[in-house]
Chain A
Amino acid sequence: MNTSESSVITDHLRAFIGVESVPVIYEIERHAVERFACAIGDPNPLYTDEIATRASSFGGLIAPPTFLRSLLPGHYPEPYPEPFAHILDGGSSYRFMKPVRVGDRIAVTRKIVDLYEKHGRMGTMLFKISEQKYVNQLGQLVATQTTTTITYGDGEKDSGVGDH
């Protein structure tokens, strides 16, 4: 297979590997956590029942594990040159070190750790592996999320392409 001839991974694109996004700090609001738990349909009292959580080993309200997903990372210092129009989410790997509590302030950063391409039914597809880091107000790394984002195809860009 000849990949050198028409690679979409230009030197410019490859230079984004390892570059950290501008940090964004989120306050973990009780109502946002409730709204997320309601949207996914998770009745776990740890996210909404303050009395129950105070008596639990957590000692207070926490966010659902994948609530981190709603804390969107910021942009890279330079605009990321997305070559394709359409986007697919390939998956996520989370590592949870500490619970995320209501009232926490969580700083989010993202960096691309790998880029590779595959050729298939939908033409050339670009696979972007990114690592999100979530750090609380005490400077503790509370979680990481490694995502696989697949982009492909020409035409008008989907809304949201470039956010992920």
Chain B
Amino acid sequence: MATIKSEPDDAVETGTELPTLWFEDVDVGNELPELIKMPDTRQLVMYAGASQDFVAIHYDLNVAKAAGHPTVIIHGALKSAWLAELVSGWIGSTGRLLELDVSYRAIDFPGTPVTCLGKVTGTRIENGVGLVELEIGLRNVDNVITTPGRALVSLPTRTVIS
């Protein structure tokens, strides 16, 4: 049987450490390291361009005010991107993000920090794969979870599970 090399020849040149999170090291109740974002209008414009989302309420103050907001509003999808960053950063390069559900319950505005939070709500083995269920959310400066969600990830196991 052919042997598959696990690393390319230039793996020694690896510049950035990609830590491994093991399934066995995760327990229900564990909290993910908080991810704090400080969005400004410049970031909203960058995101509009990068995501091709040109809904004017995210960059045109007159449109935002006409809709009853004090200023332009953060793209919901940008908040999803931050929650994906939270989870992806936690699982490293050996875990896989399988499911991400995000609900935009309240609007967030640039100029104040938002905090992305995550907590392990379940762990299970399915078909030999370690699965971890997460409750995630984005909290504003008033301590309100404006953007709740959930995620499902798979993590590598140290031991072979049959």
Interface residues of A (CB under 8 A from B): 32, 35-36, 38-42, 44-46, 49, 51-59, 64-66, 69-70, 72, 86-96, 99, 158-161, 163-164
Contact call A64/B43, Cβ cutoff below 8 A:
no
Q: Mark B74-88, 1 if CB is under 8 A from A, else 0.
A: 011110111011001
Nearest-neighbour CB distance to chain B for A53, whole angstroms, equals: 8
In whole Å, how far is A85's beta carbon from the nearest beta carbon of chain B?
10
Least distance between B149 CB and chain A CB atoms (Å) = 8
A96 near B55: Cβ-Cβ < 8 Å: no
Q: Total number of A-B contacts with CB less than 8 angstroms?
A: 141
Contact between A52 and B16, CB atoms less than 8 A apart: yes
Interface residues of B in 1-25 (CB under 8 A from A): 7-8, 10-11, 13-16, 18
Cross-chain contact B50 with A35 (CB below 8 angstroms): yes
Contacts of A59 in B (CB 8 A): 8
> Which residues of chain B come closer than 8 Å to A55, judged between CB atoms?
7-8, 11, 14, 18
The docked-state distance in angstroms from the alpha carbon of A54 to that of B46 is: 28
Which one of B43, B52, B67, B75 lies within 8 Å of A86 (CB-CB)?
Answer: B67
Total interface residues on B, using CB and 8 Å? 47
> Which of A32, A51, A164 lies in contact with B55, CB distance below 8 A?
A164
For residue B103, which residues in chain A have a CB less than 8 angstroms away from its CB? 90-91
Say what secondary structure dominates the interface of chain A.
mixed
Q: Which residues of A contact B18 (CB under 8 A)?
A: 45-46, 52, 55-56
Complex: how many Å from CA A69 to CA B102? 13
B34 at the interface (CB under 8 A from A): no
Q: Which residues of A contact B16 (CB under 8 A)?
A: 45, 49, 52
B49 within 8 A of A: yes
A96 to B154, CA, bound (A): 11
Given the contacts A36-B50, A55-B7, A64-B84, A46 and B55 also touching, CB distance less than 8 Å: no
A-B contact pairs, 10 of them (CB 8 A): A32-B50, A41-B82, A44-B88, A49-B15, A51-B14, A64-B85, A65-B97, A89-B77, A95-B99, A96-B99
Q: B14 contacts which chain A residues (CB < 8 A)?
A: 51-52, 55
Which residues of A sit under 8 angstroms from B84, Cβ to Cβ? 64-66
Minimal beta-carbon separation of B56 from chain A (angstroms): 5
Taking CB atoms, residues of chain A closer than 8 Å to B88 are: 42, 44, 46, 64-65
| A163, chain B: closest CB distance, angstroms | 8
Q: How far is the CA of A77 from the CA of B85 in the complex (A)?
A: 36
Give which listed residue, B11, B55, B77, contacts A69 with CB less than 8 A.
B77
Set of chain B residues within 8 Å of A99, measured between Cβ atoms: 96
A41 and B97 CA atoms in complex are apart in Å by 19
When distances are taken between beta carbons in the complex, the residues of chain B under 8 Å from A69 are 51, 53, 77, 80-81
Supply 17 further A-B pairs (C-beta < 8 A) apart from A46-B18, A99-B96.
Answer: A45-B16, A54-B10, A55-B18, A64-B81, A65-B88, A69-B80, A72-B52, A89-B104, A92-B80, A92-B100, A94-B100, A95-B98, A96-B97, A96-B99, A158-B57, A159-B54, A159-B55
